[in-house]
Amino acid sequence: MNITDNKNAAIGNPSASTLLPAGHPDTPPHPILIVEGLSVRVGGSTLLSDICLRLEERERVAVIGPNGAGKTTLLRVLAGFLPGGETAVRWQGRPLGEWPRRDLARWLAFVPQMSERLPPCPVFDFVLLARYAHGERWFGGADRRDRAAAGLALEAAGITHLAERDLSTLSGGERQKVLIAAALAQEAPVWFLDEPAAFLDYRQELEVRSLLTRLQKEAGKTVVSVVHDLNRGALDADRVIALQGGRLVFDGPPAALADRARLRSIFATEFDILTHPGTGKVLVVAREGQP
């Protein structure tokens, strides 16, 4: 299914009027996100230090770095789930602290790590919950448009057959597709994904990555993903952001990342730069015996 085919669908590239709070122009400014001097401290620990970056529409950005570098923290602060970005983070020129939660949810969808607990409920009901951002009518129950949007999201994610299944009975790959379907039903043009392929086997990982690539192209989403697999995640992106110790240490095209010295400085290990014998694609491989 091409999710942009149905003009009445609630999925895809929704009109600006359905996405933006009152008072915003129909066409969002460029860039859509500006971060200037973002620093986050908890207790005596610095989690993020002087982060500066911008995000353009329709970009596909990979966030990389060693464990504990601040990747998930960065996404959660930018999404407003963790404090610290109220003034340093600006969505569409508006400080994060001025965005009502519901208005921001129309603009940004967050797909968490699959390891996070999901409520025991049918798949359709869970996806339907993602419609909470769309008007006061939610408090009176979901309407026909909400249910249509949830159904279209399940279809686009290829999991219509799972609609009545309980979340607790699903495999890892199926649960991840449910989270993606919920993001689709939310109608947000910007997606943050925290390790979308974590804990999946090879087949499930390929299915999820293929689904995300297709949806990003068809629906014109702006996608920012925390990834660990440099070859399947980072080098396929339009742009790569690398964190180390809470600092932004690289922001550029994937081709510039395929450099031994740069990879060593980020991950404190040695890498080899190889060429795939079948596709000619550049691959990076950590050397055996490295810490």
Which of the four pLDDT bands, split at 50, 70 and 90, describes residue 291?
low
For the record, the structure tokens of 223 come out as 């996608």
How does residue 11 score in pLDDT terms, banded at 50, 70 and 90?
very low
Structure tokens at 6: 């149905």
Give dist(CA 49, CA 58) in Å, integer. 27
Q: Which fold has domain 31-257?
A: Rossmann fold (3.40.50)
Whether residue 203 has pLDDT greater than 60: yes
Which whole number is the average pLDDT over 240-261?
94
φ, ψ for residue 211, nearest 5 deg: -60, -45
Pairwise CA distance, residues 34 & 248, whole Å: 14
18-74: pLDDT as tens digits: 344 433 444 444 789 999 999 999 888 999 999 999 999 999 999 999 999 999 999
Predicted local distance difference test score (pLDDT) of residue 136: 58
What's the whole-number mean pLDDT along residues 193-202? Answer: 86
pLDDT bucket at 290, cuts 50 / 70 / 90: low
Contacts of 5 (CB under 8 A, 6+ apart): none
3-class SS letters over 56-101: CCCCEEEEECCCCCCHHHHHHHHCCCCCCCCCCEEECCEEHHHCCH
pLDDT tens-digit map of 144-163: 889 999 999 999 989 999 99
280 band by pLDDT with thresholds 50, 70 and 90:
confident
* Residue 141 banded pLDDT, cuts 50, 70, 90: low
What is the model's pTM?
0.84
Percentage of the chain beyond pLDDT 90 is: 56
Q: Model confidence at 143, in pLDDT bands (50, 70, 90)?
A: confident
> How high is the pLDDT of residue 276?
84
